[in-house]
Chain A
Amino acid sequence: TSPILSWHYPSPLHFSLPHSALRTHRQNSLFSITSTTKNTPFSLSTLPRKLLCQPPHGKYVREDDLAKKLSADEVQELVKGERNVPLIIDFYATWCGPCILMAQVLEMLAVEYENDALIVKVDTDDVFEFARDMQVRGLPTLFFICPDSNKDAIRTEGLIPIQMMRDIIDNEM
């Protein structure tokens, strides 16, 4: 059975409203977090500045990536199976700009958490049915799935600060 999904952080999401202002406001609030929390630890200050200034290599997937790209079958198997650590699934698309920044942040997260979290990414065009079942809309979308299958999964949309990801893994999983 697929994990029960709920919007947990930072505000409730109603899946039944497509293209709703609610969803868009949520995306906006994710961005406005960056401007309202200038003094708190946030990705711009915790990420080395040069990460943003260099043109990205433009590749989501490299052979030596810690966050592995999975196929549709692989990710479905992973979600159905059991695990001991939180599972983070990154939904991206080829030409989604923020998804590249997200991939860089996830690599940092993978280094930090090593084997204490499993981070994978999937191309929504490759995993079309899975993305549809998970009701993926805006990209990048992250799902944080608990090792305890009784707990709700947490979903975020848009580029979120790395600290928010750490908080979710540390406190919610």
Chain B
Amino acid sequence: MTLQAQASSSFAVGIPSLTSPLGGSSHRLVVRAKVEPSDKSVEIMRKFSEQYARKSGTYFCVDKGVTSVVIKGLADHKDSLGAPLCPCRHYDDKPAEAGQGFWNCPCVPMRERKECHCMLFLTPDNDFAGKEQAISLEEIKESTANM
């Protein structure tokens, strides 16, 4: 609860997530701090995820925390690179990859074979697949509040 209050108060200060180093929130959170994606990008990627899940006939993970984290990862890359590069990969050159496009969500493996190793879009036969194709902004915020 305390963490959440601190996090929300730091947003209220109005430090843009892109430019604030770790920001005012970070030194109270334990871990090494990463910049939070902007609310706008999170909302965009949230909507995209819902639409694409419906369109592709895939479902979110039973554990919506996984979904939330990936959506935030996509938003973070959208903020920093201009494109939602897959957050579940390591890249030698992120801007180049974002420009090239293979791993921009929805990535080629997903578009061609419905393979999403981020576990964002899961085919119904996948053990981790839930029954939902929707996720609210609140769910995302709650699941990632301690990050």
Q: Which residues does A use to contact B, with CB under 8 Å? A: 19, 24, 27-28, 31, 34-35, 38, 42, 44, 52-63, 91, 93-101, 123-124, 126, 131-132, 136-139, 141, 157-159
Expressed in whole angstroms, the Cα–Cα distance for A62 and B30 within the complex equals 8
List 19 extra interface pairs beyond A56-B143, A59-B30, CB under 8 A. Answer: A27-B115, A35-B127, A38-B127, A42-B127, A44-B127, A52-B63, A55-B63, A55-B142, A58-B69, A59-B31, A94-B76, A96-B118, A97-B61, A97-B70, A98-B66, A136-B90, A138-B88, A138-B90, A139-B89
Which of chain B's residues have a CB closer than 8 A to the CB of A28? 113, 115
User: Chain B, interface size: which category?
Assistant: 35 or more
**With A44-B127, A91-B90, A126-B32 known to touch, is A96 a contact of B115 (CB < 8 Å)?**
no
Expressed in whole angstroms, the Cα–Cα distance for A35 and B128 within the complex equals 9
Contact of B46 with A by CB under 8 A = no
Check B119–A98 contact: CB distance below 8 A. yes
Expressed in whole angstroms, the Cα–Cα distance for A22 and B14 within the complex equals 46
Check B63–A132 contact: CB distance below 8 A. no
**With A24-B113, A136-B90, A139-B89 known to touch, is A95 a contact of B69 (CB < 8 Å)?**
yes
Q: Which residues does B use to contact A, with CB under 8 Å? A: 30-32, 34, 61-70, 72-74, 76, 87-90, 92, 102-103, 108-109, 113, 115, 117-120, 125-128, 142-147
| Shortest distance between the CB of B101 and any CB in chain A (Å) | 11
| Shortest distance between the CB of B104 and any CB in chain A (Å) | 13
Of chain B, the residue at the smallest CB distance from A44 is B127
Which of chain A's residues have a CB closer than 8 A to the CB of B88? 93, 96-99, 138-139
Expressed in whole angstroms, the Cα–Cα distance for A123 and B143 within the complex equals 20
Check A63–B30 contact: CB distance below 8 A. yes
| Shortest distance between the CB of A49 and any CB in chain B (Å) | 9
Expressed in whole angstroms, the Cα–Cα distance for A20 and B107 within the complex equals 13
Which of chain B's residues have a CB closer than 8 A to the CB of A58? 65, 68-69, 143-147
Interface pairs A-B: 7 shortest CB-CB: A95-B73, A97-B66, A56-B65, A95-B87, A34-B127, A97-B70, A58-B147
